[in-house]
Structures are given as C-alpha cells and as structure tokens.
C-alpha cells in the first residue's frame, strides 16, 4: 500500500475497461495513478464485445488499438427479419458495411481489459492493485480521503483527485450524495455463446418474433452469441431452455456452450451531478445505457478521453475543473439513451398493428436510398 501521507495524484476506483483506459491516458501524461479493483480476476461470464469506431478511437489513444484490430473480428453487415402472420420468417432489411470505411469490431471485453492492464503495467508498473475494496470516499478542500480494505485489513489513503467508476450499483456514488436518475427504456434478456457453423460469415442477424427479439452476433474463434428478449417475469433460462426459445422463435436450435448462459436487465440511468468536489464519476457509475446497440464501451471510453485532460488541468490548477466534462458526458449519455430506446422498441415483442408499424419502419430504413441513415443509426462514430 502507498504511504497515506503522500497523496496520489489520481486514484481510480474500479479496474474495469473504463478505469483501465483512463489510467493509461493519465500514465501517458506522466500523471501518477492508482487503480483499485476489488476483483482478483477478470469476469468469466459473457460480457460486452462490440467495439464501434468511436471506441476504437479511444483504444488508439490509449495505445492498444493496433492490437485490438489484429485480434478482433470485423462485422461485414447485418439483416433484420420479422415473423409474419403465417409464422414464416421474412427478411426486411439488409445492411452491408464498406470494408474501406470504419466498421464495428467484435472482441470480448475481458480480452480488451487484459490488453489495457498490460499497457498500464508497461507505463506505470504496479498501478493496478487487485483485491482492494474502497470502503469510503470523502472529498475535502485539497485532498480526497479514502478508506481501503485489502487482505491485511483497512487502511487510510489520500489522493488529490478520485475517479469513481465502480459500476451501475456503485455504493460510493450514493455515499457522495449523487442522485441516480431513472430514464425510460428497460427490458429483460438472456444470452449464451455457441459454436458457429464452419462457413459462418461475420454477419449480425436480428429477428423480430412475436414473443420477442432474437439476436445473433459473430464472435472471434468461430463462435456466436445468441441474445433473446424475455418477458418481465420470466425466470433465467438454462442453456437448453435458451436454445428452445431460439428454436420456437427462429426455427434454429444452436448448441449453446455450457456455462455461458446469463441474464441481464437493460435499464437506463444518469447520475447527477457527475462530480462532487474532487471526486468525479466515470463509466457505468455515471450513466447506465441499455446494452442493446452496444454503446456502453464507446460512451465510457469517450468520457475517459474527456476526463483525462480535465484531470490534468485540475492537477495543474489545484482545484476541480470538471464542468465541461460533466456537460459533454451528460449530453452523450442522453443521446445514447435515445438511441438504445429506439433499438429496444424495434426488438420488443409485438403483434398486430404494432408489428406492422415496426416492419414498415425497418423496410424504409432498409431501402438503399436510406442506407447512410441506417448505418449512422447502427454504427457509433461519435460518443
């Protein structure tokens, strides 16, 4: 543990993708940083995997973009189909991505975290400390006082500034008196991975069934991730139960891999304010956006790119300079909420007039003349 009498310039609470990327950006500026992460190891369950061009820009800034490109799978395009009255499946729209233009990539979040951790260790060895829980954060006029717990017990620590990025369920956010404002857009989903067919193309497939959406995304290493929309009170399905839901809605029965099934609740929240004195929020602790549409990593990393120079200015001036960061991050989160809400509505269980209206919208967006608009909707170039 660092000497509590010598304040660390910046302490980052949470060593997930957002905290690690911010730490790399600060270390590149020769700013001393400690990243305190309570997990001893990376999560094993399926997590985020979509990397939009906006996210890749942030990875380039942190020095790992080239390695991510080398390992990731580039998406070639996608299609949206709908269940008709007869029960047949009709493809309504096909969207192809230009191989010469920026397009979404796919790489498991765990692997990106590993690359960022390796990059940080090369820049500032030992900056990432695992198995450390931050019990409390108290901003003062000139420092932030922390209480941290590790294998040896609880210890005090001080920092000139603290960044809270410990996730949507952040207890430190509540401790700081930051409100967690609920935004519209919610849903229940289950997902699991399966081996892909030998000649499977890097193609996204979305199917709007009457009972709810079925999504299939290509992954590296010849795998696919299947995501199924659930009812609000449906129990979490096992892999065989999830495969049965796919078969009922799509007519396919993927051989889902044991131990990969998980469920998640898509919700949307926004923290206010994003800073309390010398403590500032980042990533999922600052804004929760539905995973539908794959915006989470892009929004968090773009915010980290804004926060790094704000922290540099704050250290130079000796006082918080987070107002511009808070305004731009709030605007980006609100845009993300609107975009995710649209995707969730398109994928919601629908029949009758609602289903016909959704199909009409998809048909319009799928027309060649509207292809640029459709690409703008599904590919995030700015966050």
Q: Is there a domain that residue 1 lies in?
A: no
pTM over 0.85: yes
Q: Read off the pLDDT of each residue in 341-368 and give the average, rounded to a whole number.
A: 84
Name, in order, each residue with C-beta under 8 angstroms of 197's C-beta and a sequence gap of 6 or more: none
Residues 135 and 205 in one domain: no
pLDDT on residue 197? 85
Residues 172 and 129 in one domain: yes
Residues 81 and 148 in one domain: no
Residues 153 and 219 in one domain: no
Q: Read off the pLDDT of each residue in 255-284 and give the average, rounded to a whole number.
A: 94
Residues 242 and 321 in one domain: no
Residues 335 and 208 in one domain: no
pLDDT on residue 2? 44
Residues 195 and 261 in one domain: yes
pLDDT on residue 368? 87
Q: Which of 230-234, 303-307, 361-365 is most confident?
A: 303-307
pLDDT at 58 over 60: yes
Q: Read off the pLDDT of each residue in 205-228 and give the average, rounded to a whole number.
A: 91
Residues 77 and 165 in one domain: no
pLDDT in tens, 110-167: 999 999 999 999 999 999 999 999 999 999 999 999 999 999 999 999 999 999 999 9
Q: Is there a domain that residue 89 lies in?
A: yes
| Opening angle at CA 109, ends 224 and 42, nearest 5 | 115
Q: Which of 78-82, 350-354, 359-363 is most confident?
A: 78-82
Residues 132 and 42 in one domain: yes
Residues 102 and 164 in one domain: no
Number of domains, the chain: 2
pLDDT at 305 over 70: yes
Residues 152 and 241 in one domain: no
Identify whether the C-beta of residue 150 lies closer than 8 Å to the C-beta of residue 156.
Answer: no
Give the per-residue SS3 of 318-361. CCCCCHHHHHHHHHHHHHHHHHHHHHHHHHCCCCHHHHHHHHHH
As a whole number, the mean pLDDT across the chain is 91
pLDDT on residue 99? 79
pLDDT in tens, 364-378: 888 888 888 888 888
Q: Is there a domain that residue 136 lies in?
A: yes
Q: Is there a domain that residue 59 lies in?
A: no
Domain that holds residue 232: 65-107+185-266+350-378
Residues 276 and 320 in one domain: yes
pLDDT in tens, 13-57: 999 999 999 999 999 999 999 999 999 887 666 567 889 999 999
Rounded to a whole number of angstroms, the distance between the first and last alpha carbons of the chain is: 36
Q: Is there a domain that residue 58 lies in?
A: no
What CATH number did the domain enclosing 18 receive? 3.50.50.60
Structure tokens at 118: 């390796």
Q: Read off the pLDDT of each residue in 335-339 and give the average, rounded to a whole number.
A: 93
d(CA 282, CA 109): 17
Q: Helices 53-62 & 296-317, crossing angle to 10 degrees? A: 40
């Amino acid at each position: 543990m660092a000497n509590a009498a010598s304040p660390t310039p910046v302490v980052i609470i949470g060593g997930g993708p957002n905290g690690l990327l911010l730490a790399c950006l600060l270390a590149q500026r020769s700013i001393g940083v400690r990243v305190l992460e309570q997990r001893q190891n990376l999560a094993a369950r399926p997590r985020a995997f979509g990397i939009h061009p906006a996210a890749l820009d942030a990875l380039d800034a942190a020095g790992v973009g080239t390695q991510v490109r080398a390992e990731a799978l580039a998406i070639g395009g996608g299609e949206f189909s709908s269940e008709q009255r007869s029960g047949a499946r009709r493809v309504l729209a096909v969207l192809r991505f230009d191989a010469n233009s920026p397009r979404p990539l796919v790489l498991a979040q765990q692997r990106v975290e590993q690359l960022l951790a390796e990059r940080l260790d090369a820049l500032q060895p030992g900056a990432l400390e695992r198995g450390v829980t931050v019990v409390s954060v108290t901003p003062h006029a000139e420092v932030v006082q922390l209480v941290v717990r590790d294998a040896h017990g609880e210890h005090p620590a001080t920092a000139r500034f603290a960044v809270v990025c410990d996730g949507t369920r952040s207890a430190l956010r509540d401790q700081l008196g930051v409100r967690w404002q609920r935004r519209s857009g919610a849903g229940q989903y289950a997902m699991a991975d399966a081996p892909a067919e030998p000649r499977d193309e890097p193609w996204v497939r979305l199917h709007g069934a009457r009972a709810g959406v079925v999504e299939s995304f290509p992954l590296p290493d010849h795998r696919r991730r299947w995501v199924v929309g659930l009812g609000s009170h449906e129990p979490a399905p096992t892999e065989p139960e999830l495969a049965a839901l796919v078969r009922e809605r799509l007519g396919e029965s993927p051989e889902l891999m044991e131990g990969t099934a998980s469920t998640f609740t898509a919700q949307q929240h926004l923290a206010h304010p994003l800073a309390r004195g010398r403590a500032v929020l980042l990533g999922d602790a600052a804004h929760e956006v539905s995973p539908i549409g794959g915006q989470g990593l892009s929004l968090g990393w773009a915010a980290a790119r804004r926060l790094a120079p704000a922290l540099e200015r704050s250290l130079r001036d000796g006082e918080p300079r987070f107002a511009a960061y808070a305004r731009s991050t709030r605007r980006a989160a609100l845009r993300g909420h609107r975009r995710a809400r649209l995707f969730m509505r398109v994928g919601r269980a629908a029949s009758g007039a609602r289903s016909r209206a959704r199909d009409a919208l998809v048909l319009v967006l799928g027309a060649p003349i509207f292809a640029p608009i459709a690409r703008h909707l599904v590919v995030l170039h700015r966050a």
